[in-house]
Amino acid sequence: MRVIGGRFRSRKLKSVPGMAVRPTPDRLREALFNVLSQRIPGTVFLDAYAGSGAVGIEALSRGAKRVILVERWSAALVVIRENLALLGISDEVTVVRGSASVLLPNYPADIAFIDPPYDQVSEYSGALLALSCTACSLAIAQHSSRLNLEDRYGDLVKTRVLKQGDNSLSFYERGR
């Protein structure tokens, strides 16, 4: 796994061993950040269910001013901290251990990315509803292409779905 663009372009990242964490494929991450390229600079970016931290690190690499990584699994937290130390960016990232749907209201962000385990479908509604109660202006959910997420979670309204094979990204913006 590597950082695709920005100041850490081509730097390799450690990944979480085993099958418990499903990393966001490089191609999907590249598509995500092509869509977000104009919106990332200067933002606070939150990566929930962070795994290795690759999505949040990519956001920081592309100009986010601060990144918040939320993860509950201790093995993933070890890898996150190793990746942050490897790049020398520990002071630019807040790492939080615990349940994303519980913690999200406590960590304000401009843009949030959620990627719960695909088999934990209820985590999508919990996390997106929690984000709808914050000032988050854009939430992106990575999910199985077989799963159709709701069109609305609280004040967050689905504006776009980007499909890439078995993975999809649903984009939610604050309703007007």
132 found inside a domain: yes
pLDDT, averaged across the chain: 94
55 found inside a domain: yes
% pLDDT > 70, the chain: 97
* Lowest-confidence region among 12-21, 34-43, 87-96, 143-152: 12-21
pLDDT value at 58 more than 90: yes
110 found inside a domain: yes
Q: Whose structure tokens read 């990519």?
A: 58
More confident residue, 6 or 16: 6
For residue 154, what is the DSSP state?
T
Identify the pLDDT of residue 123.
95
Identify the pLDDT of residue 20.
57
Distance CA 136, CA 159 (A): 15
Q: Whose structure tokens read 């790049």?
A: 87
Which CATH number do you get for residue 68? 3.40.50.150
Mean pLDDT of the region 10-14: 94
Q: How many CA atoms lie within 13 A of 160 on its CB side?
A: 10
Please give the residue range of the domain that contains residue 141.
41-174
Domain count, the chain: 1
> Smallest Cα–Cα separation from 29: which of 19, 18, 40?
40
122 found inside a domain: yes
Distance CA 67, CA 56 (A): 6
Distance CA 111, CA 172 (A): 10
Rounded to two decimals, the pTM is: 0.95
* CA 136 and chain centroid, separation: 13
169 found inside a domain: yes
59 found inside a domain: yes
